[in-house]
Chain A
Amino acid sequence: MLLLSCPWCGDRSEEEFVCGGEAHIVRPLAPADLDDRAWGDYVFMRRNPKGVQFERWRHVSGCGRWFNVARSTVSHKILAIYQVGYDRPELPE
């Protein structure tokens, strides 16, 4: 069970959150120019890493706001929590 620290509300149990999946997937800036392959890659294809995943979470039962989390998908350890719109943080080895 995860203890997540919402940037606005502090430490809360995972039951208050929903995970929004992989972060840093940028919506194409010129959608009309995309072919089927590029759309398929954008909409469906995922890294699904075994190890560190950068992902989006939303504090649905609290402030309702989105934020990003770096988390290990093997140990579930939370490695970093940062705000949406920022680059992936440097992680300690």
Chain B
Amino acid sequence: MANYSIFSLARNALQRHRNWQLAWRSPTPRLYYDAIIVGGGGHGLATAYYLAKQHGMNNIAVLEKGWIGGGNTGRNTTIVRSNYLNPESAAIYDHALNLWEGLSQELNFNVMFSPRGVINLAHDIGEERELRRRVYANQLAGVDAEWVTPVQLRELCPILNLDPGIRYPILGGTLQRRGGVARHDAVAWGYARAADRLGVEIIQNCEVIGFNIQAGRIEGVKTSQGEIRAPRIGVVAAGHSSVLAAMAGLRLPLECHPLQALVSEPIKPIMPTVVMSNKVHAYMSQSDKGELVIGAGIDGYNSYAQRGSLPVIEETIRAVVELFPITSRLKMMRQWAGIVDICPDASPIISATPVAGLYFNCGWGTGGFKATPGSGQLFAHTLAKGEAHPINAPFALERFYSGALVAEHGAAAVAH
């Protein structure tokens, strides 16, 4: 398959775009693979790509029950940052951020990574102390972070309401200049195309309905398209991780909630950066199409329904209108929810399980998109070597028994 380039674009334009090749195949599943990835979202496709690219495994398949990138990969607010508090988290998210910076070249697919800076606002003294602490922790961990004053914020994001008289006045914020946004669909498509070119088989409309486990060892999966054998299986199923774990007789420390987002009608560029506020619970950026992309919170009860409730959006919109008064007359075009799998410590799980050969990558909760490349690469390492990479070793399932939690509720941004 030809590389995408300015020349291929020109050649295909001259041929009136009738000769573009499909970006990936749609094979029927084989009876045996060396490894199977369950879940064709960004993390799953990235895992398959790095397994093929860095570990030389090319007899592998990605099984997706719907269409690739149709779950949380297509439902998030596309923010990429790595300003987490603990050294373990800073390592894993910064690893991902390093990969983001070269990802379009790596995949030969424009993922439109736009490092336009991510700002986290502080609205009271307690929050200011907490955020300043995080800036210092980030700097010690080698993560790009700085404190910005309201005067600097006026320059960075002119539409912010810096009036000290509002209900939750802005006292300052943190800025990660290397953070930004990326095109979420392009991440799934780019990894799918790059993995497919290395021989990975992407099988859509193939739902896993059970595991074949013999004497504590994984032997294969039962799917809606028949049984497939594989000695190694990696489950990357986000909101459905607990359901798949139950099929293998396991329980995970996860609870699923709907996380909502919405977009406005497209308008001219007004927002040059990404702004997040934990206190009033709003975050916003502007897409290249001109829509304001707004992230809301989670519903307070467990749910597998990909829709959220109205009070959650109302709360977020109240906050957005006060923080950005320019938005008060904007119409919202679309609203949706994804099902996020939340861990008690707001950190992910990349881990072996008590079933030999069965691995889980889950628990990314409200913030998995930013970690896509790093998560995939580390999970591929874990699957290929049978043991964790030093960066993801602290994120094993075992931490819920040893007590070595990686508490990131402050940095996870979405309150839960």
Contacts and interface: CB of A to CB of B under 8 A. Distances in A.
* Interface SS, A side: mixed
A44 interface: yes
Contacts of A36: 401-403
A42 to B, nearest CB: 11
A63 interface: no
Interface size band for B:
20 to 34
Interface string B271-303: 000000000000000000000000000001111
A50 interface: yes
Interface size band for A:
20 to 34
B310 interface: yes
B242 A73 contact: no
Contacts of B256: 48, 73
Nearest to A46: B255
A46 B401 CA distance: 14
Q: Which of A1, A14, A45 counts the most chain B CB atoms within 10 A?
A: A45
Contacts of B300: 18-19
Contacts of B402: 36
Contacts, number: 68
Given A14-B309, A36-B401, A36-B402, A44 B302 contact: no
Contacts of B254: 46, 48
A37 B254 CA distance: 17
A76 B311 CA distance: 16
Q: Which of A44, A49, A74 counts the most chain B CB atoms within 10 A?
A: A44
B198 interface: no
B305 interface: yes
B252 interface: yes
Interface of B: 240, 242-243, 246, 251-256, 300-305, 309-311, 344, 400-403
28 contacts: A1-B309, A2-B309, A18-B300, A19-B301, A19-B302, A37-B401, A40-B400, A40-B401, A43-B344, A45-B252, A45-B253, A46-B242, A46-B252, A46-B255, A48-B255, A49-B246, A50-B242, A53-B302, A55-B301, A71-B301, A73-B256, A73-B302, A73-B305, A74-B303, A74-B305, A75-B305, A76-B303, A76-B305
